[in-house]
Amino acid sequence: MTRFAVIILAIAIFISISVLAGPPSLSGKAMTLGNPAIIDDTAYINANRIFMFVTNHGNIGRDLAGYFGYDYGTFFPYTSISDIQAGLNYSPLYAAGLWIGGKVGTETLVTVAEYNDEYGPGPMADGTFQPDRPDFRVYKLYSDSTTNNDYLNWPVDQGAPAYRDGSPRRAGDQFLWSVFNDADPSRHTNDAGLTSPLGIEVQQSSWAYDREGALGNLTFFGYKIYNKGSNQINDCIISFWADPDLGGSGDDLVGCDTLNNTFYCYNATNADSKYGSTPPAVGFKIVCGPLVPSATDTAKFERWFVPGYRNLGLTSFSKYINGTDPYDKQQSYNYMLGLTREGNPYIYDGQALKYQCSGDPVMGSGDLDAGASDRRMMGSCGPFDFNPGDSQYVVVAMGVGQGSDRLSSISALKNIFQYAKLSGNCADRDGDGRIELDDLLAFVSALYLGGDPNYAIDVNNDNLANILDISYLINYLFRNGPSPQCWL
């Protein structure tokens, strides 16, 4: 069949089908435990060489339930639960979590997930938190199971990602999901925050792949963040905070790679108290940052491509040592901005920078960390304005690289992070970075003309690849319809 005939067939299909989908609106070290009915500290992800606890109140990486009795709850290289219990698997991370700050009028508001978390489990309703419910917990899916309890009781009513038929939409070989919010004033007790709530709901997805190679050393965290309160949040910043404790905690150094949106911790010597002569490097990559207007760009938002916006990358990196932690909201916000705790610019080589320690430790050049100790580090994205009803989507990847010594571990980590990226749009069948007529024609050919069956995929979120997807693509290409959807 000729190209013209395929086009005519596609048009005929479109005329006979109604398009049913629409896009989301873009406007639109002690832990204080909450109610034991809903605080869930028992869930963990262990699909590959990273074992990590994940909670429903913003904290990741700690064994807050005392499952193993170590307090820290991240292990690499993970071999088995029995090896963790026997002390044969070591930890590269003590704790990590999501921080959000901004200006409401003239007041600075900050919500932190640190040693004391200011988020509470569950979604918001009517602009505030809801009463405690046992089903505000962490849900876990497996790629090879559609019969486990969490799959059968998937919390679509809480906002969990799902197809139109209600079945779970997941990524990776293990997929964990929970939702939490900062709307309860009684939870804002951390000195680093201790403000009124911002009015934020966070839907957290965590996933990992059971793979050899780089993907086996990565865990992903997706944060769908809603402003569900009444606050107009200006100069909003989203930060990912971590206390790495790489093996032994007192010999850590940190750095960042501004070109690749990564920040990391590495050992100061080749004689770590846990990992010995081959200490790994642990780090994080901002895979997908919040959206800001940009007329000539196209941004990614979960499964959507959004013209007229771009994704922010790593906009600042701050580090501090045990004892110089922020003790009030302004000090926290200063760190999030890439300033010193006191609010002064960070100066290197006579220049004010928002990125500390941005040199290359492997080459021994540039701004390098010194004076190894118990480090904290924070990578941030912002500022942007966050209006009531708006939403943002941020993806952070955690990776661990281990080479033959401390510096080769940094190189290994940077190589691993090359695989921490979003997929292309699911409708871009020829991989040229654009959704065009050729992609539509490939789809029609796959369904009706004996073409490559891999070109026939679900673009309208109904868990099927059929005539409705063709109609959806035509609507997008020729009638300004919603963007095709994809998943990581």
pLDDT, tens digit, 9 for 90 and up, residues 313-326: 999 999 999 999 99
pTM score? 0.86
**pLDDT value of position 467:** 87
Torsion of CA 142, 147, 148, 150, to 10 degrees: 90
Of residues 205, 59, 30, the one with CA closest to residue 118: 59
CA dist., res. 154 & res. 179, Å (int): 13
Amino acid 23: pLDDT: 34
Residue 398 lies in a domain: yes
Indicate the SS3 state at residue 152: helix
Based on the fold, state whether residues 405 and 437 are members of the same structural domain: no
| Residue 21, pLDDT above cutoff 70 | no
Average pLDDT for 291-304: 89
Last residue of a domain, one of 397, 417, 437: 417
pLDDT for res 29: 47
Distance CA 419, CA 208 (A): 12
- Cα(195)–Cα(270) distance, integer angstroms: 42
Task: Please count the residues of the chain.
Answer: 488
Instruction: Confirm whether 153 is domain-assigned.
Output: yes
* Dist. CA 401–CA 278, nearest whole Å: 10
57 & 159 share domain: yes
191 located within any domain:
yes
Of 445 and 159, the one with more pLDDT: 159
Question: Same domain for 411 and 473?
Answer: no
3-state secondary structure of 442: helix
Strand 174-181 versus strand 120-121 pairing type: antiparallel
Among 417, 439, 469, which residue terminates a domain? Answer: 417
For residue 7, the model assigns a pLDDT of 54
Shared domain for 9 and 70, answered yes or no, is no
The residues, any chain, with a CB within 8 Å of residue 323's CB and separated by 6 or more, are none
Q: Does residue 94 contact residue 72 with C-beta atoms inside 8 Å?
A: yes
Q: Is pLDDT at 117 greater than 60 in this prediction?
A: yes
Given this model, what pLDDT does residue 425 score?
62
User: Quick check: is 380 in a domain?
Assistant: yes
At 109 the pLDDT is 98
In a domain, 279, yes or no: yes
Pick 166 or 94 by higher pLDDT.
Answer: 94
Of 164 and 360, the structure prediction assigns the larger pLDDT to: 360
Does 31 score more than 80 pLDDT? no
Same structural domain, 88 and 218: yes
Q: Which of 417, 441, 467 is the last residue of a domain?
A: 417
Cα(50)–Cα(297) distance, rounded to whole angstroms?
Answer: 35
Kindly report, residue by residue over 341-363, the tens digit of the pLDDT. Answer: 999 999 999 999 999 999 999 99
Closest CA to 137 of 170, 169, 176, 163: 176
Q: How many CB atoms lie within 10 A of CB 449?
A: 13
Residues 287 and 345 in one domain: yes
Burial category of 454 from C-beta neighbours within 10 Å (exposed 0-12, middle 13-18, buried 19 and up) = exposed
Q: Distance between CA atoms of 470 and 234, rounded to whole angstroms?
A: 41
Q: Report residue 481: phi and psi, to 5°.
A: -80, 180
With CA atoms as reference, report the closest residue to 32 among 137, 181, 196, 187: 187
**pLDDT score of 17 more than 60:** no
Percent of the chain with pLDDT over 90: 72
* pLDDT interval class at 295 (50, 70, 90): very high
pLDDT band at 181 (very low <50, low <70, confident <90, very high): very high
39: tokens are 């605080």
Average pLDDT over residues 122-135: 95
Q: Residue 484 falls within a domain, yes or no?
A: no
> Measuring CA to CA, which residue among 397, 483, 375, 473 is closest to residue 17?
473
Q: Are residues 288 and 307 in the same domain?
A: yes
Domain hosting 163: range is 44-417
pLDDT at 480 over 80: no
Does the pLDDT value for residue 11 go beyond 80? no
Question: On the CB side of 17, how many CA atoms lie within 13 Å of its CA?
Answer: 19
The CB density around residue 385, as the number of other CB atoms within 10 Å, is 16
pLDDT attached to residue 482: 72
Q: What is the pLDDT of residue 27?
A: 34
Same domain, 343 and 473: no
Question: What is the pLDDT averaged over residues 429-436?
Answer: 65
Query: For residues 53 and 65, what is the distance between their CA atoms, to the nearest angstrom?
Result: 10
**Lowest-pLDDT choice from 48-57, 372-381, 473-482:** 473-482
Q: Are residues 369 and 402 in the same domain?
A: yes
31 falls within a domain: no
Whole-number Å distance between alpha carbons of 25 and 9 = 32
For residue 424, pLDDT over 70 is answered with no
For the beta carbon of residue 129, count every other beta carbon within 10 angstroms: 25
The domain total for the chain is 2
Range in 125-134, 299-308, 455-464, 465-474 the model is least confident about: 455-464
Cα 39 to Cα 43: distance, rounded to the nearest angstrom: 11
Nearest CA-CA partner of 257 in 377, 345, 375, 98: 377
CA-based torsion, 423, 425, 429, 433: positive or negative: negative
Q: How far apart are CA 326 and CA 128, in angstroms?
A: 27
Alpha-carbon torsion, ordered 253, 194, 289, 463, to 10 deg: 120
- Burial of 394 (C-beta count, 10 Å sphere; 0-12/13-18/19+): buried
User: pLDDT class for 219, splitting at 50, 70, 90?
Assistant: very high
Among 13-27, 48-62, 454-468, the minimum mean pLDDT is found in 13-27
Given a cut of 70, whether residue 118 has pLDDT beyond it is yes
Q: How far apart are CA 228 and CA 183, in angstroms?
A: 9
117 & 181 share domain: yes
What DSSP designation does 124 have? -
| 133, 432 Cβ separation under 8 angstroms | no
What band does 450 get if pLDDT is binned at 50, 70 and 90?
confident
Residues 336 and 462 in one domain: no
**Residue 35 domain-assigned?**
no
For residues 440 and 409, membership in a common domain is answered with: no
Round the average pLDDT of the chain to a whole number and report it.
Answer: 89
Which residue type occupies 235? D
Using the predicted structure, report yes or no on whether residue 470 has a pLDDT greater than 80. Answer: yes
487 has pLDDT over 60:
no
Which contiguous run of DSSP H or E holds residue 347?
strand 346-348
